[in-house]
Structure formats: structure tokens, C-alpha cells
Amino acid sequence: MTVNLLDFDAAGLAAWFAQRGEKPFRARQVLRWMHRFGVDDFERMTDVAKSLRAKLAAEAEIRGPAPLRDATAGDGTRKWLLDVGGGNAVETVFIPEANRGTLCVSSQVGCALECSFCSTGKQGFNRNLTTAEIIGQLWHANRMLGAVRQPGVGDSGERVVSNVVLMGMGEPLANFDNVVAALRLMLDDNAYGLSRRRVTVSTAGLVPAMDRLRAEVPVALAVSLHAPTDALRDELVPINRKYPLRELMAACRRYLEDAPRDFITFEYVLLAGVNDGDADARALLALTRDIPCKFNLIPFNPFPGSDYRKPGADRVRRFQEILMNADVVATVRKTRGDDIDAACGQLAGQVRDRSRRQAAQPLVRHEPVAALEESAP
């Protein structure tokens, strides 16, 4: 059976090579060719022994997700719809800015957490993405953006993709092992060489997995909070019934002990008349008073079948002011790529639901792209 080498982080690739009697430096060579240089043809790996190239061609492949659609917005935002097989597809979005370029990556086909304001969560779950399908989104983006390194050329200069956020479709920490393997590749100097500060994982609050992430590969963390009380969060984010706010806040404090940044980003979707009142803002301040943090406020984008409404601009501004008057950084999400449906609340894919929810429809994720401005130091 042919093995996709994009499924391996450095340790996994070295072990696979060792099983075939190859030395560790051969694995490092191939890792660089795949990720730093974006090569998918073993014959182009000119410093790899010809006999090994033949062996690799017989036993392995380098295959990222196949693009189904590629769209570029007027503001430069670029979105790819990527085929992950079985009638499923996920979207990846690149947002260029003056001082950085951020790639928003998906980790699952659908989502099983069923957050009440999220269209993705209401439309079902199919499966976890493999490591190859997760890192393949970055691999594909670099190739399409002309951002791969050239053999023999140094690594000086700015990367086109300088920041990665796992805020696309799915709950990253529910796909822990594959996500961590992809994170290790993002950080590996033989692969993408990104800083821990420039890679962000977003979670709805899977507390044990947050502790594991802190221990294994502590990158920047964003927490989808959305409510200041357990009663409301139980309704909006059902995983809260298993890991209530007291446990979640304690996990955030623990995470900061090893985090590459000195703050947690809290994502907060503002729902008119539900969680956007002055009292809610003050309750948020009380909840997070001993946690260094920033808030990313996301006015809700309605979708068919939802009973929630988007708050008015004055209400959003007032909510933000209450937080900022308490010396807490609070940003309101930027709208980027809305003309190609790549803005917050517009990321779409396709999922064949294997859960008990309704059959497949286009998916919309209502948080991730909103948090992109928080992804830089």
C-alpha cells in the first residue's frame, strides 16, 4: 500500500525510514524537499540517492488535498476549496496584510460540538482530517502562492504565510494526534520553521486536550468563549456541560505557564439580546480578571434556520468600550474576502454527515476568520 509521506512529522518520517534501513539524515532530506521546497516528485530530490528515490517512488507518494476551487477577493484574500474524498471538501483561506500573511486551516470535516449559533455544528460531522490533509493545506497554499523555497537559496526574508490559525472547520483538539503532528511540522526548521507565537489553535474548551497541548506543543491559544456564565454557555456551547467555566478558566491559567504568548485570546460571538448586554460585558471582566487575555468580538452573521440576530453597531461598540475601559484589549473582527464568501461566518465546505444530524449541506463556520488579526505578535 502506498504511503503518503505528508502524514509524517519528523519523528514519524525518521521511524518509517529506519524500518527500511535508511539513516535519519535521509528522512531530513526528504522532509526539506517536501515542505520547504514544496516538491511532490521524488526524482526532483537531487541530493537523495538514486536508489532511494526509486524505492520511494515504489512505496510512497507526496499528495496534498486536491483543489476543487480557487477564488481571490478584491482585497487579496484567497480561498481554496479542497477535496478530501468521499464527497467531502474543506476550505482554506489566506489573508494577506502589510506585515503578515495568515492562513486559516481546517482540522475536521464538519464538527460534532453542536454550538447553537454555528451552522457547521448543526450540519453534522464526518471525520477527522489526517495529518496529510491538515498540513497539506499549508503545503498547497505555499505552492499556489509561489512561496516555496528554492534549493540552495537561504531562508532569509519574509515568508508569504507567516501565521497559521487552526480556526477553520472543526474542533482542532478533538483531532489531537493529527493536529499535533501537523503543528510539529509547522514549527520544524526542516519544514516550515514558524514561530510558536505565530501558530494559533482555537478550541471550544476541551480541557484535558488543552493540558496535553500545553505539555506537547504549546502554541498560541484562542478559546471560543461566547458566554460569561455557565447557564448561558451550556446553551450556546454544549461542551461546557462537561467542562464548565471554572475548569476552563483554570486550564487557561495552566496553559499560560508554558504558552509562547503572555495572554489567551478569547473569541466571543455577539448575539443580539442574548450575550451582548452591558451586564454580560461586566460579567466577562469578572470571569477573566486573573487571566491575561485579549478579546476578539465577532458580531453574529445570520444563517438560514437560525433564531439569533446580529447586534447593531452601537451595541457592539458599547460592549467593546466596557472591556477597553477596564484596560482589556478588545478588537472587533475585520471583514476580509466577503466578496468570495471568505469573511467571518462565510467559510463553507461540504460534509457527508455521519452523525445523527441532518444530511450534508454547505457548511459555514462562524468564528475562525474573525480571529485572524489576533494571530500576530
Catalytic residues: 91, 344
- CA 263, distance to chain mean position in Å, is 18
DSSP letter, residue 130: P
Cell (9 digits) for 97: 496584510
Specify whether the CB–CB gap between 68 and 84 falls below 8 A.
Answer: no
Of 246, 344, 236, which Cα lies nearest the Cα of 286? 246
* Dist CA 66 CA 53 (whole Å): 24
Place of cell 475585520: 334
Of 348, 286, 375, which Cα lies nearest the Cα of 322? 286
Interstrand relation of 3-4 and 329-332 (parallel, antiparallel or unpaired) = unpaired
- CA 4, distance to chain mean position in Å, is 22
Q: Indicate the SS3 state at residue 368.
A: helix
Q: Residue ranges of the alpha helices (H) in the chain?
A: 10-18, 24-31, 50-59, 119-122, 131-144, 176-187, 207-216, 230-236, 245-256, 278-287, 313-325
